[in-house]
């Protein structure tokens, strides 16, 4: 880019010639009269060295609003912006005339008689990037000048003797006795640093600010004993680094828990601002994800979660990370791949290139269906409400966007080892399985959600540390605290580990930094959060219970309901469905078969009503029959009422009851025993007998 195209300060004024230039550029690259995804238009401008930033605009929307005479900006649902280049006949003529004027004049032509005053395309000027201010070494240089004239001959002679074993130091004393090279500043620091330590000249020569760093190094060396050159650089620098090392004593001392590994700093932090998306990839994501999904927000949040949890894999220039949605067969999460690109003037250094290995040109994902890919199963709170929207709150994702944890397996394993022994695996989880500590993950995410909702996160006055009470205790009944340190990025905190007050390095730092230890999260605000009102009505939403919660009802209850009818094969299909998409279709088909037959639907409703009446009678005899549960996604308290649908002596599932302002209980969801335990465990370790961890967990 030539200097005539640069302007130092102030917004860039776009003249008619500049607009004509940009019109010609976009007309040739993307065409006129059709909607084009805004990142693609920005790529075309960036290839010409034009970006909203270097043109003086705060955002791309502000730039296109300035170009409204030929660029129409349209915003669709989900925050997707499209640009339409409006055809301009007068500018087309001007461009044609400009092209004609470039042709050489024919024989006998008179080029000086051509029409003057016609607008010609001219590239807009851009802002010149401000150079970073460099420290002025005036006082240091003055100090050097005063010290140079007197000791120069003697010091140079001594320098030639001291580094005698060093091969590179031999030619230096021959050059420097010359009087012409004495005032050069680049050589003087090297001469002073060479006899002190062999490792310091390397840092002085590679660092562009040698005149600033050398005096500080000399001061450090002068304060020490000049016995050996090697210990001097090793003493001050590695001292703070061993702090994240104590990983082995985690089991014995919770205050010395290993810290989470550092996340990659070179990954993009804002997907919309740093990653460009091809139209083919955008179309593929639109077909795959649910129609109400905000694609930009999904990509941005899931990339942040992958950075915080260490699920982003690949090389320096090619990174793959998972999304919250599953593949068609439900075997693995949907993944996207971003590739680093280098384009002059383009702030987006990454490009979204693949979705599950598909670049958008094939037909590998045509089986997604009209409702889009299924979302991965959420935490225990996802069963506490009837219908689940694609944009529902997820405390696990919120935790990952709040603090870097390294990996889930490492963090949860460390916490489970430091805390008193408990069962934390859902059925199907454990050692050697695909997942572990699912109940502990939901517990930690729910606890942090409640702490943040209460404003109970303890933060140091200088912002150097934060902590919260996990609600767990060590085998010695000591409170376990999560200790965080600031990151200065879009993920504000980083989990350093779990500690007890005053124990280990983390515990000592916790006690020395915070004036008071973090308070525990509280959940119970009234007696209604613990006991069920005896005279209150229970109003079940049978439509929701027999549709969204149908697969959580016991199989024996469903088999009695559809035995000998045309819906019996559908129950068999539900048991054989393995993929989440097939399972969801089988649940819908069976729910439709039950709802379409009035007699069958009434029998199901009466069976649920009888089970509710029996459980309410037991709850009146003992308030401990119901279990208080915390819904972390909505920050509310519910009561879990056990239901015995097959055998009165055995609890099959639980009914989530929400106390309405009218004083009645609304029942909209069926909860499986394992998820019911996880929701109740957040509130208290003491659960009713029907929620014993030994019976409902793995």
Q: HEC profile for 366-395?
A: HHHCCCCCCECCCCHHHHHCCCCCCCCCCH
Residue where one domain finishes, among candidates 461, 488, 513: 513
- Tell me, what's the pLDDT at 1? 44
Total domain count for the chain?
Answer: 4
Q: Is the pLDDT of residue 161 over 50?
A: no
Handedness of CA 186, 189, 195, 198 (dihedral sign): negative
- In this structure, the answer to whether residues 321 and 358 fall within a common structural domain is yes
Q: Is 420 exposed, middle or buried, given 0-12, 13-18 or 19+ CB atoms closer than 10 A? A: middle
Give the number of other Cβ atoms within 10 Å of residue 324's Cβ.
20
- The fraction of the chain above a pLDDT of 70, given in percent, is 73
- Tell me, what's the pLDDT at 232? 38
Supply the pTM of this predicted model: 0.64
- Position 673 in a domain: yes
Assess contact for 58 and 48: CB atoms under 8 A: no
- In this structure, the answer to whether residues 492 and 539 fall within a common structural domain is no
Residue 429 dihedral angles phi and psi, to the nearest 5° = -110, 165
Assess contact for 677 and 628: CB atoms under 8 A: no
Give the number of other Cβ atoms within 10 Å of residue 128's Cβ.
14
Strand ranges inside 132-277, DSSP E: 275-277
- In this structure, the answer to whether residues 423 and 332 fall within a common structural domain is no
Residue where one domain finishes, among candidates 329, 355, 373: 373
- In this structure, the answer to whether residues 565 and 625 fall within a common structural domain is yes
DSSP output for 308-337: HHT--EE-SSEEEEEEEEEPTTSSSEEEEE
- In this structure, the answer to whether residues 489 and 427 fall within a common structural domain is yes
Query: DSSP 3-state assignment of 283?
Result: helix
Q: Which residue has the higher pLDDT, 611 or 48?
A: 611
Q: Is the pLDDT of residue 406 over 60?
A: yes
- In this structure, the answer to whether residues 469 and 501 fall within a common structural domain is yes
Q: Is the pLDDT of residue 59 over 70?
A: yes
- Position 223 in a domain: no
Render pLDDT for 638-650 as a digit per residue (tens, 0 to 9): 999 999 999 999 9
Lowest-confidence range among 95-109, 234-248, 356-370? 234-248
Q: Which residue has the higher pLDDT, 333 or 163?
A: 333
- In this structure, the answer to whether residues 444 and 507 fall within a common structural domain is yes
- Tell me, what's the pLDDT at 363? 61
* Orientation of helix 580-596 relative to helix 568-576, angle to 10°: 160
- In this structure, the answer to whether residues 498 and 544 fall within a common structural domain is no
| Mean pLDDT across 337-356 | 83
Question: Pseudo-torsion of CA 509, 514, 520, 523, nearest 10°?
Answer: -140
- Position 139 in a domain: no
pLDDT-derived band at 30, boundaries 50, 70, 90: confident
pLDDT-derived band at 144, boundaries 50, 70, 90: very low
- Tell me, what's the pLDDT at 172? 43
Average predicted confidence (pLDDT) for the chain: 79
Q: Which domain holds residue 295?
A: 271-373
- The fraction of the chain above a pLDDT of 90, given in percent, is 45
Strands 6-7 and 126-127: parallel
Residue 431 is given by DSSP the state T
Distance, CA of 632 to CA of 385 (rounded, Å): 12
Distance, CA of 199 to CA of 194 (rounded, Å): 9
- Position 398 in a domain: no
- Position 413 in a domain: yes
Render pLDDT for 163-216 as a digit per residue (tens, 0 to 9): 334 334 444 444 444 444 444 443 333 333 333 333 343 333 334 333 333 333
Q: Which residue has the higher pLDDT, 225 or 488?
A: 488
Distance, CA of 14 to CA of 16 (rounded, Å): 7
Give the number of other Cβ atoms within 10 Å of residue 213's Cβ.
19
Distance, CA of 679 to CA of 640 (rounded, Å): 9
| Mean pLDDT across 544-551 | 90
- In this structure, the answer to whether residues 451 and 314 fall within a common structural domain is no
- In this structure, the answer to whether residues 538 and 681 fall within a common structural domain is yes
Distance, CA of 634 to CA of 628 (rounded, Å): 15
Residue 639 dihedral angles phi and psi, to the nearest 5° = -115, 135
- Position 630 in a domain: yes
Residue 224 is given by DSSP the state S
Lowest-confidence range among 387-396, 446-455, 471-480, 574-583? 387-396
| Mean pLDDT across 65-70 | 89
- In this structure, the answer to whether residues 45 and 85 fall within a common structural domain is yes
- Position 461 in a domain: yes
Give the number of other Cβ atoms within 10 Å of residue 695's Cβ.
12
- Position 185 in a domain: no
Q: Is the pLDDT of residue 153 over 90?
A: no
Q: Which residues pair with 467 in a beta bridge?
A: 458, 483
- In this structure, the answer to whether residues 532 and 421 fall within a common structural domain is no
């Amino acid at each position: 880019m030539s200097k005539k195209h640069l302007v130092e300060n102030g917004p860039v004024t776009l003249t008619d010639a500049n607009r004509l230039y940009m019109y010609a550029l976009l007309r040739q690259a993307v065409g006129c009269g059709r909607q084009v995804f805004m990142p693609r238009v920005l790529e075309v401008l960036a290839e010409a060295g034009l970006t909203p930033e270097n043109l003086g605009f705060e955002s791309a929307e502000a730039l296109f609003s300035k170009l409204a005479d030929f660029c129409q900006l349209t915003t669709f649902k989900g925050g997707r912006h499209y640009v339409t280049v409006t055809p301009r006949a007068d500018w087309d003529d001007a461009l044609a005339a400009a092209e004609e004027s470039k042709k050489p004049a024919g024989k006998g032509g008179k080029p000086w008689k051509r029409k003057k005053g016609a607008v010609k395309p001219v590239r807009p000027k851009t802002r010149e990037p401000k150079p970073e201010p460099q420290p002025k070494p005036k006082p240091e240089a003055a100090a050097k000048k005063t010290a140079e004239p007197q000791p120069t001959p003697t010091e140079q002679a001594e320098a030639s003797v001291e580094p005698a074993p060093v091969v590179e130091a031999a030619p230096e004393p021959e050059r420097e006795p010359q009087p012409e090279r004495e005032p050069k500043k680049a050589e003087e620091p090297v001469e002073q640093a060479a006899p002190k330590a062999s490792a310091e000249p390397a840092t002085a020569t590679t660092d562009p600010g040698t005149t600033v760093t050398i005096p500080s190094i000399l001061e450090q060396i002068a304060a020490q004993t000049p016995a050996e050159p090697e210990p001097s650089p090793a003493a001050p620098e590695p001292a703070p680094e061993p702090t994240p090392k104590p990983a082995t004593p985690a089991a014995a001392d919770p205050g010395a828990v290993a810290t989470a590994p550092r996340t990659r700093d070179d990954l993009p932090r804002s997907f919309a601002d740093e990653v460009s998306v091809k139209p083919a990839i955008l179309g593929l994501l639109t077909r795959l994800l649910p129609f109400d999904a905000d694609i930009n927000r999904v990509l941005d949040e899931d990339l942040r979660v992958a950075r915080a949890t260490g699920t982003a894999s690949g090389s320096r220039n090619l990174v793959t990370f998972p999304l919250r949605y599953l593949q068609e067969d439900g075997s693995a999460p949907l993944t996207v791949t971003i590739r680093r690109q280098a384009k002059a003037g383009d702030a987006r250094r990454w490009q979204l290139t693949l979705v599950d290995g598909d670049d958008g040109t094939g037909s590998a994902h045509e089986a997604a269906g009209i409702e889009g890919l299924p979302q991965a199963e959420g935490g225990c709170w996802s069963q506490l409400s009837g219908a689940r929207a694609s944009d529902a709150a997820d405390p696990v994702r919120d935790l990952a966007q709040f603090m870097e944890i390294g990996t889930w397996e490492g963090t949860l394993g460390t916490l489970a080892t430091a805390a008193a022994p408990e069962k934390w695996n859902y059925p199907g989880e454990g050692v050697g399985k695909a997942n572990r500590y699912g109940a502990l993950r939901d517990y930690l995410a729910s606890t942090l959600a409640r702490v943040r909702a209460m404003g109970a996160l303890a933060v140091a006055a200088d912002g150097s540390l934060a902590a919260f009470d996990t609600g767990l205790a060590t085998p010695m009944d000591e409170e376990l605290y999560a200790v965080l340190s600031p990151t200065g990025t879009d993920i504000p905190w980083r989990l350093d580990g779990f500690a007890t007050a005053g124990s280990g390095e983390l515990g000592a730092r916790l006690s020395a930094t915070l004036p008071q230890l973090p308070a525990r999260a509280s959940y119970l605000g009234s007696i209604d959060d613990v006991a069920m009102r005896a005279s209150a009505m229970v109003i079940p939403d049978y439509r929701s219970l027999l549709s969204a919660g149908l697969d959580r009802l016991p199989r024996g209850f469903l088999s009695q309901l559809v035995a000998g009818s045309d819906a019996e094969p559908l129950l068999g299909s539900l048991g054989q469905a393995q993929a989440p998409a097939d399972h969801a279709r089988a649940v819908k088909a069976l729910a439709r078969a039950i709802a379409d037959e009035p007699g069958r639907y009434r029998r199901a409703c009466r069976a649920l009503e009888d089970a509710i009446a029996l459980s309410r009678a037991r709850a009146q005899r003992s308030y401990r029959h119901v279990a208080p549960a915390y819904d972390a996604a909505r920050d509310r308290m519910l009561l879990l009422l056990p239901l015995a649908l097959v055998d009165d002596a055995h609890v099959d599932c639980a009914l989530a009851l929400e106390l309405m302002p009218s004083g009645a209980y609304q029942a909209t969801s069926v909860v499986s025993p394992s998820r019911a335990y996880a929701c109740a465990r957040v509130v208290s370790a003491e659960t009713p007998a029907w929620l014993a961890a030994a019976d409902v967990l793995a």
